[in-house]
Amino acid sequence: MNAPISTLDARRAKAVEAFRVKGVPHRRVEEWKYSDLHAVLGADKVEQAGAAKWAVETLPRGVELFDLAAGNPPDWVQQRLGSLSNTGAMEAASLAFAKSGFALRVAKNGSGEVRVRFSGEGQARVLVVLEESAAVTLIEEADEFSGFQNIGVELVLGPNARLTQTRLTPKADQAIRICEIAASVAKDAVYRAHIADFGGKLSRTELHIGLDGAGAETHLSGVGALNDGHADVTAHVVHASGKTRSTQLFKYVAGGHARGVYQGKVTVAEGANGSDSRQTAKGLLLGNRAEIDLKPELEILADDVQCAHGAAIGDLDAESLFYLRSRGIPEAEARALLMRAFIGDAVDQIESESVRASVWQAVDAALEGLS
Amino acid sequence: MLEIKDLHAKVDGKEILKGLTLSVGAGEVHAIMGPNGSGKSTLSYVLAGRAGYEITGGSITYKGEDLTTMSPDQRASKGVFLAMQYPVEIPGVTTLTFLKTALNAQRRARGEKEVDAVGVLRLVREKAAAMKVSEEMLKRALNVGFSGGEKKRLEILQMALFQPALAVLDETDSGLDIDALKLVAEGVNALRAPDRAMLVITHYQRLLDYIVPDRVHVLSAGRIIKEGGKELAHELEAKGYEQIIKDAA
């Protein structure tokens, strides 16, 4: 008799099949309309991609770390890894083909800051499990590289857990950067994420968040300061339970041949009464070769909910610009000041002062090229 | 200080200034009075160098230099200041950050040393007290949620901070109650100096009771049609623009 196939192996096998059926997403797939991955990446490249290098730079005491490249995953990894899978072709690919990655577990009431760095091309898989009332800040940084990188992240937040994630991806003109995040947020837990993307050949962060228990919250924010290149945030928040809250605030500044994309879908499931959701996405379009696509979307299946969404794209305000210049501020500096002001409230969502400073630094460098 | 000769200017293809001539010397305060649509605001924007205000004839000479070829920021760093009728609200930029950025941009352009954050704060506090601009206002986004009076006080605070050689005040009295008007006028009067010229643009004589001008010019249909001393303002108030314009014709 054959040895029983582990749950994890079964999920991986399913993921291989899912990727092969779906293939690399192209612009005729609705969710990938503004980010034609197929045009820049072949399926063979995905299947043959190597292992993305990663390093956990700070790890608080009491946080368990397991290297997925080492065999024999412990039970908690076996049980969880891939359990939030099947959100899309690229997510399936990272589960199916990634040869590297790690799993983190934070025990009940544990807390601290975890810094992770991904470098170079390849695929990786990440699992983060927060037990009840654990509170962790996850800071993800990346090096500039060329080639294809695909990272699949699963986040499991237990009751009353707090996870604050920041993803800072520097400008990398020759990088195809995909990150798919799936999160399950239990009762009274709060998941915050900030995505600062300075553009790649194609750069996309996809979030699938389930507010699965009453009182669960998610707060998403992000900035794209693009003087060329592409940056896409596609988020789907499902209010699966009642009395859940979600907010989203995304700001893009695009010049040159840049393209900024935000797609935000909020689903309030049947019976998820008392849910509250707000979405704001704004774009500043500089020059006529840049493009910003903002697509907020609401799907409400419950009766008693509060939902608001808004999206707007504009140019720098001529009156404001004249006012600043009439006070002696040269045009380029005045433009940068207004762009900074436009982006500011989204950057200010970042709680960590040091991360906020790094993001501002990257924003200022990008704006210099735009003003 | 300022010599405007036979100035013609267009806005949206329409000629608004039609041969305006005006001369303001150092140490002098001149008032420009005129009815709505006479070209008062156009004149102030032309002096500040706003885009869309096209000069089609004549000249503007400031301290012997051609002002018309300078960018708005160059004009400011050379000492031209326009207190605007409608100061612009700029969300996301705190008032103090704005003041610091502007002050140092002007200093940099003149080849002077920049002032550090502490120095700027000290300078601003000194000027803010006189204009009753609170610390809390300085921390707020520029002009956002400010009342009409607060906006105008902040304009005069800027004038005190930047110490311009030529200050143009465009309808600084509009939207002010009498207490605010007095406060603003006191701020302006405190800045009268032998090396500074001021051009006070207004519709009503009221402001000129507090900022007493050396000369008064009446602007009508894009030209100065009458000039006189401070008593001309009272004559205007008594007779009305229509009569004065008729008399001048």
A316 touches chain B (CB under 8 A): no
Instruction: Average the pLDDT over A302-327 and give the result.
Output: 92
| A317, A326, A340 ranked by CB distance to B48: nearest | A326
B95 touches chain A (CB under 8 A): no
In angstroms, what separates the C-alpha of B24 from chain A's closest C-alpha? 21
CA atoms within 13 Å, Cβ hemisphere of A265: 13
Q: How far apart are CA B54 and CA B48, in angstroms?
A: 12
Residues in chain A with CB shorter than 8 Å from the CB of B91 are: 341
Q: What are phi and psi of A365, to 5 degrees?
A: -65, -40
B229 touches chain A (CB under 8 A): no
A323 touches chain B (CB under 8 A): yes
Strand partners, A260: A231, A292
b/e per residue A99-125 (b: at least 16 CB within 10 A) = ebbbbbbbeeebbebbbbebebbbbbb
Cβ–Cβ contacts within 10 Å for residue A349, how many? Answer: 18
CB contacts under 8 A, B 178-197 vs A, are none
Contacts of A180 (CB under 8 A, 6+ apart): A87, A88, A90, A91, A94, A150, A151, A152, A153, A205, A206, A208
Superfamily for the B2-248 domain:
P-loop containing nucleotide triphosphate hydrolases (3.40.50.300)
A312 touches chain B (CB under 8 A): no
Instruction: Report CA torsion sign: B221, B225, B230, B232.
Output: negative
- What pLDDT does residue A253 have? 95
- What pLDDT does residue A1 have? 43
User: Mutual orientation of helices B95-109 and B117-130 as an angle, nearest 10°?
Assistant: 110
Chain-chain contact of B71 with A325 (C-beta, under 8 angstroms):
yes
Q: What is the pLDDT of residues B158-179, one digit of tens each?
A: 999 999 999 999 999 888 888 8
Instruction: Average the pLDDT over A266-277 and give the result.
Output: 96
Q: What is the pLDDT of residues B173-196, one digit of tens each?
A: 888 888 889 999 999 999 999 999
B53 touches chain A (CB under 8 A): no
Residues in chain B with CB shorter than 8 Å from the CB of A334 are: 73
Strand partners, A307: A277
Tell which of B46, B90, B100, B161 to mutate to test the A interface (max A CBs under 10 Å): B90
3-class DSSP state of B184: helix
Contact A282, A252 (CB under 8 A): yes
- What pLDDT does residue A145 have? 86
Q: How far apart are CA B154 and CA B95, in angstroms?
A: 9
Residue ranges of domains in chain A: 7-315
If you ran DSSP here, which 8-state letter would residue B170 be given?
A: E
Q: What is the pLDDT of residues A315-345, one digit of tens each?
A: 899 999 999 999 999 999 999 999 999 999 9
- What pLDDT does residue A369 have? 79
Contact A309, B59 (CB under 8 A): no
| B51, B98, B141 ranked by CB distance to A322: nearest | B51
With residue B16 as reference, give the H or E element that holds it: strand B14-24
Residue ranges of domains in chain B: 2-248
Residues in chain A with CB shorter than 8 Å from the CB of B157 are: none
Q: What is the pLDDT of residues A122-137, one digit of tens each?
A: 999 999 999 999 999 9
- What pLDDT does residue A271 have? 93
Tell me the whole-structure pTM to 2 decimals. 0.88
Q: How confident is the model at residue A85 (pLDDT cuts 50, 70, 90)?
A: confident
Cβ–Cβ contacts within 10 Å for residue B37, how many? Answer: 12
Q: Which two tokens stand for residue A184?
A: 């399950």
Residues in chain A with CB shorter than 8 Å from the CB of B76 are: 325-328
- What pLDDT does residue A371 have? 66
Per cent of chain A over pLDDT 90 is: 85
Assign 3-class secondary structure to chain A.
CCCCCCHHHHHHHHHHHHHHHHCCCCCCCHHHCCCCHHHCCCHHHHHHCCECEEEEEECCCCEEEEECCCCCCCHHHHHHCCCCCCCCHHHHHHHHHCCCEEEEEECCCCEEEEEEEEECCEEEEEEEEECCCCEEEEEEEECCCCEEEEEEEEEEECCCCEEEEEEEECCEEEEEEEEEEEEEECCCCEEEEEEEECCEEEEEEEEEEEECCCCCEEEEEEEEEECCCEEEEEEEEEECCCCCEEEEEEEEEECCCCEEEEEEEEEECCCCCCEEEEEEEEEEECCCCCEEEEEEEEEECCCCEEEEEEEEEECCCHHHHHHHHHCCCCHHHHHHHHHHHHHHHHHCCCCCHHHHHHHHHHHHHHHHHHC
Distances in whole angstroms, Cα of residue A133 to Cα of each of A173, A177, A190, A302:
40, 32, 10, 29
With residue B7 as reference, give the H or E element that holds it: strand B2-11
- What pLDDT does residue A4 have? 55
- What pLDDT does residue A132 have? 97
Q: How confident is the model at residue A368 (pLDDT cuts 50, 70, 90)?
A: confident
CB contacts under 8 A, A 328-357 vs B, are 328-331, 333-334, 337-338, 340-342, 344-345
Q: Is the pLDDT of residue A248 over 60?
A: yes
Closest-CA residue of A relative to B93 is A341
Per cent of chain A over pLDDT 70 is: 98
Q: How confident is the model at residue A370 (pLDDT cuts 50, 70, 90)?
A: confident
Residues in chain A with CB shorter than 8 Å from the CB of B102 are: 324, 327-329
- What pLDDT does residue A5 have? 63
